[in-house]
Amino acid sequence: MTRAALGAVLPGELTQARLGLHWAAQLVSAAGTSLLPAADDFSHTNLGWDPMLSVLAGRNVGAELVRAALVFDGLELVVIEGERERASLRLAGRTLSQALAWLGAELAGDDAALALPVHDMPAHPVGEGAVFSDDGAAARTELAGWFAEAFASIGELAAREETAAAVRCWPHHFDVASLITLDANAGAEQARSIGVGFSPGDGSYDQPYFYVTPWPYPDAKNLPPLAAGAQWHTDGWTGAVLTAERVISVPADEQQNTIRQALDRGVAVSRELLGA
């Protein structure tokens, strides 16, 4: 499937759309949070990208392969049965609680069946009871392109790594990630690992960015060079970072290769730093 060129909306102009989508994604995660058995790693709450439907979708919550999903550009909550849309709700003009009640009725026949996942969220009017806004459609479409690219690029890398976890979006930070485990028999805190991921923006960077993080974090002194314009981030966490600004600075037909080179080099360097 052809992947869209990135940069129609500049990275610094995506913040408000990103925050609105982050809150909307909590609705999709609520289905797994409320209707699936709880997993120790919270994987029952995470989300995936459906490249055929271009939606961020939750896990199946019924025998009939029913799942909730979010359409970015139209800011629309949908219920998918198999590969077809069964019901939809425009979020603009509705509150979080109204949308949650609608989804509960659609998925479980009970408007009180669902609860949002519990974790800290960025401040936003929707979190205080305001209605979702329809502003920023172009920015949401741009973010859909970034999410599609993130799932594709990270997925291609993960497919080459035997111990890489499935590529999923985690509703807490709204990031897309896979974890490459290097020590299968060690505890989670002791095991060496490499996180490969994408954030649409956060407190570290107010723009989308790809990252590769070795664990345990290496000494920030004398870190080896990276590729394709990626740089080391060492404030609070250590990892190789490729910002959206860097990605869109190259011609459209070179964007995917730039991301691929940065991620591949980040993983290779992380292995060296971890002695793996």
**What is the number of domains present in the chain?**
2
Q: Which domain holds residue 265?
A: 137-274
What pLDDT is attached to residue 2?
64
Nearest to 242 by CA among 256, 253, 257, 258: 258
Residues of the chain with pLDDT under 50: none
Q: Do residue 192 and residue 98 come from a single domain?
A: no
- In this prediction, residue 157 carries a pLDDT of 98
* Alpha-carbon separation of residue 52 from 125, 209, 217, 237, 254 (angstroms): 32, 24, 37, 35, 23
pLDDT of residue 1: 52
Same domain, 145 and 262: yes
Last residue of a domain, one of 128, 150, 183: 128
Domain membership of residue 5 (yes or no) is no
Q: Nearest 5 degrees, angle CA 37-CA 38-CA 43?
A: 110
Whole-Å CA distances, 224 to 69, 184, 239, 240, 268: 41, 26, 11, 10, 11
Q: Is residue 145 part of a domain?
A: yes
**149 exposure class (CB count in 10 Å sphere: 0-12, 13-18, 19+):** buried
Q: What are the helix (H) ranges across 120-254? A: 137-159, 244-247
pLDDT at 62: 78
Q: Are 32 and 45 in contact (CB under 8 A)?
A: yes
> Does any domain span residue 6?
no
Asked whether residue 52 is assigned to any structural domain, the reply reads yes
Residues in the chain: 276
Instruction: Give tens-digit pLDDT for 157-213.
Output: 999 999 999 999 999 999 999 999 999 877 767 799 999 999 999 999 999 999 999
Q: Are 6 and 246 in contact (CB under 8 A)?
A: no
Distance from the first to the final alpha carbon of the chain: 34
Last residue in a domain, options 128, 160, 179: 128
| Model pLDDT, residue 4 | 84
Question: Distance (Å, rounded) from C-alpha 101 to C-alpha 114?
Answer: 7
For tokens 């959206």, name the residue. 244
Instruction: Say what the pLDDT of residue 117 is.
Output: 96
- For the chain, give percent helix, strand, coil, nearest 5: 35, 20, 45
Inside any domain, residue 2? no
Q: How far is CA 173 from CA 11, 21, 197, 206, 243, in A?
A: 18, 12, 11, 13, 17
Cβ proximity of 38 and 44 under 8 Å:
yes
Both 92 and 206 in a single domain? no
**What's the confidence (pLDDT) of residue 232?**
98
pLDDT in tens, 245-260: 999 999 999 999 999 9
pLDDT at 3: 81
- Residue 122 and residue 19 in contact, taking contact as beta carbons nearer than 8 Å: yes
3-class DSSP assignment, residue 143: helix
